[in-house]
Amino acid sequence: MTTRFAETYGFERNALTLANWRTEPFSRFSFGHAEEVVPSTTIAATAERPEGAPVASDLLRQALPQGLAGQADVGSYLDYAHTDAFVLMKAGRIVAEHYAPHAGVDQRHIVFSISKSLTALAMATLEADGLIDPNAPVTSLLPEASGSAYGDCSIRDVLDMRVSLAFDEAYLNTDGAYARYRRATLWNPADPARPNETLLAFLMTLQKDAHAHGGAHFYASPNSDLLGVLIERATGERYAQVLSERLWKPLGARHHASVTVDAEGTARAAGGISVTARDLARVGEMLRNGGTVDGRRIISETWLKDMLTAGDHQAWVDGKSNFFPNGRYRSQWYQSGEADGAFCAIGIHGQWLYVDPSTETVIVKLSSQPNPLDDELKHDNFAFFRALCAWTA
């Protein structure tokens, strides 16, 4: 007998395992219920408050520019791009939403590397209170890093992904450093033939590459997990508590967020956060409003200006990125380098928070895209967002 679960997701719940949760079709459930798959802890909102009904809009029938991924309108594009949740805001107001049948307005969704960008915002509040100096060495807060790649780099190098690191960000790797990394975070099953590691222990084994720190942009998720550890060392509090008190509650989030943790409770600051689409849109709107919510400052003007303008374009070019030809990367956020000033946070499997200040637009797109990267679809999404920004509500 087919269960209601199988009718909704296309498989029975007991078919989902730690070995397959990031693959199709299982990701349609697990990306919205990461806490059921990987040990997690709560990033508390002030109180849970259900959202209103999704905003209906004719936008889903709006025609797209000819040739955009071969899709005729917005709704067909969202389906083509494996969209689970979509929110479009204009001038602070939600003007369109879309949720897949297996998702919903009150449903959390893992945002993968958008977690990095949220982690950096928490660090911004610590800098404002004098608890962290981005220009200080990592070892000022984490002395045991002295024997690792992080032993002679600055926190700023880590924030900007300019650490010289002998590491390959290979998402599909099954036998190597990246596989060890995934096991240490409890994202993959343990390997009986290899010893168990915690996340921090794994980070401390990473070694420096041949070149100096501070050079080309080199994207490596362990850097962002290290930022989570530094947040705990600077505050004496757990990562989830810091994000709750310094970001989630001040933001006015309506739902608790969550973050996956390892065997010691160390948070996966690089990729383990789950949030609702509307709460993530609130983050984008806060940044669009200069780091404030209802006149209350959350992110300092100094940090935000630096984040949006101080990225090194040459470091981005030298990193040989095939995206954002005019782009920059600063404090775990991407700047498009386009005249509209658009900036964004991006996660694998199609997670986006996109902000265009010039048109007062905030876009959230959460997805269960089968391919973790899919460069062609990433370029399609960028063109899609720019088309939406040009649309007048």
Write out the catalytic residue numbers: 113
Query: CA 303: distance to chain centroid?
Result: 19
CA-based torsion, 245, 54, 16, 226: positive or negative: negative
Enclosing H/E stretch for 182: helix 177-184
Could you give the C-alpha distances from 239 to 11, 85, 273, 326, in angstroms and in order?
35, 26, 11, 34
User: Please, which residues have CB within 8 angstroms of residue 311's CB and are 6 or more apart in sequence?
Assistant: 160, 327, 328, 329, 330, 335
How many C-beta atoms lie closer than 10 Å to residue 36's C-beta? 12
At residue 191, φ and ψ (nearest 5 deg) are -105, 115
Distance between CA atoms of 328 and 312, rounded to whole angstroms? Answer: 6
Burial class of 293 by CB neighbour count within 10 A (0 to 12, 13 to 18, 19+)? middle
Query: CA 66: distance to chain centroid?
Result: 30
Burial class of 320 by CB neighbour count within 10 A (0 to 12, 13 to 18, 19+)? exposed
Distance between CA atoms of 242 and 122, rounded to whole angstroms? Answer: 7
